[in-house]
Amino acid sequence: MKPRSTGCCHGSHVELPTLTAKLRKESLKITGPRQAILEAMRHHPHPLLIKELHALLAEGDCDLVTVYRSMKTLQKMGMVRRVEFGKGGSRFELVTDEGREHHHHLVCEACHAVMQLDDCLLLEVERRIEKASGFRSVTHRLEFFGICPACQKSSVPKP
């Protein structure tokens, strides 16, 4: 698996008008809060906690309850994906390729930095499972955890 970057993922290349067009397609209003949430997620595509997302918004853009409701709507529409890293609650990331952007994450257990991994070696395993079980549309979710290089350096005992 190849990391997309050596740290957290960089900003999405999807333009805000493309994202708001998806809202229009579903006959949903392009409210100020929804637009602010999408814009924030566009610039921070690594998975975010709801509270982290709310903190990124300008004061007065929307309250925390509105962020929760908007994320639920955006998730139902397939515009955001829920990611579970075990501790700390659900995180959400922007889906930028109509849901075809399958990837995994590498999470630092010390500083909680998230690195996106683009390669998936399990696609052949999915095909084998389908063939052996008769199931169709088999998918998986897998996240990796470790200690990033920066945290390794900071935890090395000094002589």
Q: Give the domains, in start order, of the chain with CATH numbers.
A: 16-154 (3.30.1490.190)
Please tell me the distance from the alpha carbon of residue 132 to that of residue 17, in angstroms, as a whole number: 44
CA distances in angstroms from 111 to 18, 44, 141, 154, listed in the order given: 33, 17, 22, 11
CA distances in angstroms from 123 to 4, 108, 118, listed in the order given: 19, 25, 13
Residue 7: predicted pLDDT: 35
Q: Residue 9: pLDDT band by 50, 70, 90 thresholds?
A: very low
Summarised one tens digit per residue, pLDDT across range 66-85 is: 999 989 988 888 888 888 88
Q: Are 148 and 110 in contact (CB under 8 A)?
A: yes
Summarised one tens digit per residue, pLDDT across range 91-140 is: 888 886 544 467 788 888 888 888 888 778 888 899 999 999 999 999 88
Question: What is the mean predicted confidence (pLDDT) over 1-30?
Answer: 56
